[in-house]
Amino acid sequence: MADPTEQSEAVPSRIAEHLALARLIGREPVFTAVVTKIPAVARATSPVLILGETGTGKELCARAVHHLSARRRAPFIPVDCATLPDQLCENELFGHVRGAYTDAHISQRGLVAMADGGTLFLDEIDSLTLSSQAKLLRLLQEGTYKPLGADRFHLADVRIIAASNLNLGHLVQLKTFRADLYFRLNVLQLDMPPLRARRGDIPLLAEHFVRVLCDEAGIPRKTMAPEALERLAAADWPGNVRELFNVVQRAVVFAEGVRISLQHLLLQEDASPPPPVHLPRVEPPVEVEDGFREARARAVEAFERTYVENLLRKHNGNVTRSAREAKKDRRAFGRLMKRYRIDRDTR
């Protein structure tokens, strides 16, 4: 006969597992095959690598791993590596001591220290510089790190979960991602499938989003018309679950009644195509009184501004990937953004 104490401990454990996985919604085998691995991955202590296209739920997966692990009561610190400027990346991750540089008037803890005892989630890890990758490798291998300006290493009790929507093995071949870091991270791998590979889950997700959005707004629950659900299931969803949520959110706002019909949907393929990435917009004709140098300077400025904007739009504001496609150093690309006052979000 089972020990009553063991039974009482198992019940909260099952409840915790249910809560941790509750936001990972889907019934398609290609999706449930990933979800069923999460409890085992959570019980382990090794680093985790989550791969998948943009918007497939990599952070939700990482949070589930954390909340099912022995670290659940400690912090879960998410970091979007693509938003960390090259010159500040190591400072953000590892912190600094007073006097480390001109403006370092006080010591500052980094994100690694903030995650002590818990989980550090590094999204878009492919955006880290090679220098930052080397320091992250030391953290993984030895459990130590050194804040900027410090004269000794600090111990860190942190589990690393990394994520990327790129093929890291290919980046290793291109020598933009360290092979030793890749092999150190790629111990436990979870592959989040794109939405087009699990079309049967699209109506389920859409109806869930409608319920949640209506409840949050405090309005009567709306329903999706069958033809609307059919149209959603047929779309390609390059932005995956995140894009689906945005479409449903707009539909909930603009549907005046309790029924969301086909006309309330605005899918990406229904919209006008964006301008080509490599071609500038048509600019007004050059004034006759302009000299050659002035006219050329204006044309170059127009091209550079549009080229940078279109690249950022293509890569959803990711500066590192935009610079990589432009075959420019990230700092040089950033200077172009600053010169033309271009924000990451060009949408």
* pLDDT band of 12, cuts 50, 70, 90: low
Per-residue pLDDT at 89 = 85
Structure tokens at 163: 């994520």
Predicted confidence (pLDDT) at residue 9 exceeds the cutoff of 60: no
CATH number for the domain formed by residue range(s) 4-193: 3.40.50.300
What is the percentage of the chain residues whose pLDDT exceeds 90? 53
* pLDDT band of 341, cuts 50, 70, 90: confident
Q: Do 148 and 87 meet the contact criterion of CB atoms below 8 Å apart?
A: no
CA distance 347 to 341: 14
* pLDDT band of 16, cuts 50, 70, 90: low
Question: Which among 307, 301, 322, 305 is positioned nearest to 276, based on CA atoms?
Answer: 307
Per-residue pLDDT at 272 = 45
* Residue pLDDT, tens place only, 224-256: 999 999 999 999 998 999 999 999 999 999 888
Q: Do 70 and 85 meet the contact criterion of CB atoms below 8 Å apart?
A: no
Determine phi and psi for 40, rounding to 5 degrees: -65, -40
CATH fold group of domain 196-270: Helicase, Ruva Protein; domain 3 (1.10.8)
Per-residue pLDDT at 198 = 96
The per-residue pLDDT of the chain, averaged, comes to 84
Per-residue pLDDT at 294 = 62
Least confidently predicted of 7-21, 155-169, 279-293: 279-293
Q: What is the CA radius of gyration of the chain?
A: 24
Dihedral sign, CA of 56, 343, 130, 277? positive
Q: 196-270: same fold as 4-193? A: no
Per-domain residue ranges for the chain? Answer: 4-193, 196-270, 277-347
Per-residue pLDDT at 56 = 96
Q: Are strands 154-155 and 144-145 parallel, antiparallel or unpaired?
A: antiparallel
* Residue pLDDT, tens place only, 44-69: 999 999 999 999 999 999 999 999 99
CA distance 19 to 120: 21
Per-residue pLDDT at 213 = 94
